[in-house]
């Protein structure tokens, strides 16, 4: 049951003694808060532009009037006009006042509407918006046992994860991440049995299978709707050599596997130590484990002000940590916390030679050997 928060918001209305307050700092912080709120509000417009195909319709179209954009997208003209204004004042869209037109610069389309671009990160807007969609559940989690059931998170958020991470997998997985792991590419080329644990909608699973067709790849995920989506994608891609199973990471199998990978999933699990122990159990001697985790730093204070650390701590508190606390194990590792902690988990699970293979400022690629 939801309890009112009114009293908690106004515990004491006394304004601190003016002599003890630095007004410049008050102003600076109020400005910083406003900037954050502007970003948060604009994210709603970004999601609308993405979902309704407004960015896509503007891509490569040159200058358009609001009426032209409304007609080509079949959307409500007044709302399209307002959306264009919101996008203009946030500098997403260029406005040509004399002609009364609006234009999406090609460089912005690379980020917002061209899925093949290495800068295509608009999927993250759905992840951020997902936090708002589950705010009530988060309040309850804070007051209760800390957990949020996976079914509470909206499909749009899982879709955002899929699209956001696909960009990194497409442009980094085969070219920089895997080559940095000793012996991994040789094994994949020779035909390895690979488990992709916490595979979500199967983006990384399918990419591994496509790059290294001699491999047998199985994706495992606890979230059944994601597994169903992954299977549908495999069928669409004509990949009958890839299997997807609904399973908790702590019971994957039967194996044996030559390679076990976790892509942005280890921290989401209820029991990462048990998941790593299971991976080790199912790996052959000399088998390789790879965990790709969101970039993070060992010391909290080193991340102050960094936009990606700020987003990650927020998403971690709203989604990843309660998602983990809602599962058996209730470990709550969180997306942040740095490589040292993750390397320690690998070693504690019995792996040898745990090391950070890649730190590209966006992701960490950790690896170890059985």
What stretch of H or E contains 344? helix 339-348
Query: How far, in Å, CA of 227 to CA of 315, rounded?
Result: 22
Q: Which residue is nearest to ligand SAM (CB)?
A: 200
Q: Which residue has the tokens 């690379």?
A: 110
Question: If you ran DSSP here, which 8-state letter would residue 64 be given?
Answer: B
Closest to ligand SAM by CB, 161 vs 358, is 161
Q: Which is nearer to ligand SAM, 230 or 288 (CB)?
A: 230
Name the strand (E) or helix (H) holding 290. strand 283-294
- Nearest distance in Å: CB 320, ligand SAM: 7
- Pairing, β 101-103 against β 94-96: antiparallel
Question: Rounded to the nearest whole angstrom, what is the least distance from the CB of residue 73 to ligand SAM in the complex?
Answer: 28
Minimum CB separation of residue 131 from ligand SAM in Å reads 13
- Alpha-carbon Rg for the chain, nearest whole angstrom, is 23
Provide, rounded to whole angstroms, the least separation between the CB of residue 284 and ligand SAM.
21
If you ran DSSP here, which 8-state letter would residue 295 be given? Answer: -
At closest approach, how far in Å is the CB of 159 from ligand SAM? 10
Q: Which is nearer to ligand SAM, 54 or 234 (CB)?
A: 234
In whole angstroms, the minimum distance from the beta carbon of 115 to ligand SAM comes to 15
Contact footprint for ligand SAM (CB under 6 A): 150, 161-162, 165, 198-200, 203-204, 220-223, 226, 248-249, 263-265, 268-270, 327
**Residue number, 45 or 249, with CB nearest to ligand SAM:** 249
Beta-carbon count within 10 A of 87 CB: 25
Nearer to ligand SAM, 126 or 268 (CB): 268
C-alpha to C-alpha distance for 345 and 357, rounded to whole angstroms = 16
Q: Which is nearer to ligand SAM, 93 or 234 (CB)?
A: 234
Rounded to whole angstroms, the Cα distance separating 181 from 366 reads 9
Between CA 363 and CA 167 the distance in angstroms is: 12
Contact 147, 327 (CB under 8 A): yes
Block residue for tokens 């709203």: 318
CB 335 to ligand SAM: min, Å: 9
Judged by beta carbon, residue 108 or residue 166, the one nearer ligand SAM is 166
Tokens of 58: 């503007």
Cβ closer to ligand SAM: 200 or 334? 200
Phi, psi of 136 (to 5 degrees): -65, -40
Which DSSP letter does residue 251 get?
G
Least distance CB 361 / ligand SAM (angstroms) = 18
């Amino acid at each position: 049951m939801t309890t009112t928060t009114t009293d908690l918001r106004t515990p004491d209305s006394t304004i601190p003694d003016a002599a003890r307050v630095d007004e410049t700092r008050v102003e600076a912080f109020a400005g910083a808060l406003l900037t954050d709120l502007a970003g948060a509000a604009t994210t709603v417009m970004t999601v609308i532009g993405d979902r309704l195909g407004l960015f896509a319709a503007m891509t490569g179209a040159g200058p358009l009037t609001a009426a032209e954009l409304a007609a080509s997208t079949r959307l409500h003209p007044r709302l399209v006009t307002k959306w264009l204004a919101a996008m203009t004042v946030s500098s997403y869209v260029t406005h040509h006042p004399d002609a009364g037109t609006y234009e999406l610069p090609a460089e912005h389309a690379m980020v917002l509407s061209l899925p093949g671009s290495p800068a295509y990160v608009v999927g993250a807007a759905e992840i951020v918006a997902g936090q708002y969609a589950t705010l009530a559940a988060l309040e309850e989690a804070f007051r209760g046992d800390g957990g949020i059931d996976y079914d509470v998170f909206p499909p749009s958020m899982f879709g955002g994860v899929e699209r956001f991470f696909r960009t990194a997998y497409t442009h980094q997985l085969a070219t920089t991440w895997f080559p940095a792991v000793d012996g991994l590419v040789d094994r994949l080329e020779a035909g390895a049995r690979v488990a992709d644990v916490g595979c979500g909608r199967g983006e990384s699973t399918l990419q591994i299978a496509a790059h290294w067709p001699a491999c047998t790849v199985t994706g495992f995920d606890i979230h059944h709707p994601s597994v169903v989506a992954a299977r549908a994608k495999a069928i669409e891609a004509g990949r009958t050599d890839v299997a997807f199973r609904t399973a908790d990471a702590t019971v994957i199998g039967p194996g044996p596997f030559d390679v076990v990978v976790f892509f942005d999933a280890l921290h989401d699990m209820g029991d990462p130590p048990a998941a790593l122990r299971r991976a080790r159990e199912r790996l052959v001697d000399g088998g390789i484990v790879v965990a790709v985790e969101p970039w993070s730093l060992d010391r909290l204070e080193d991340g102050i002000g960094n936009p990606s650390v700020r987003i990650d701590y927020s998403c971690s508190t709203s989604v990843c940590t309660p998602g983990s606390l809602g599962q058996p194990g209730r470990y709550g590792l969180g997306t942040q916390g740095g490589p040292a902690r993750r390397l320690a988990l690998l070693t504690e699970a019995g792996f040898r030679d745990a090391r950070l293979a890649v730190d590209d400022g966006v992701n960490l690629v950790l690896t170890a050997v059985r």
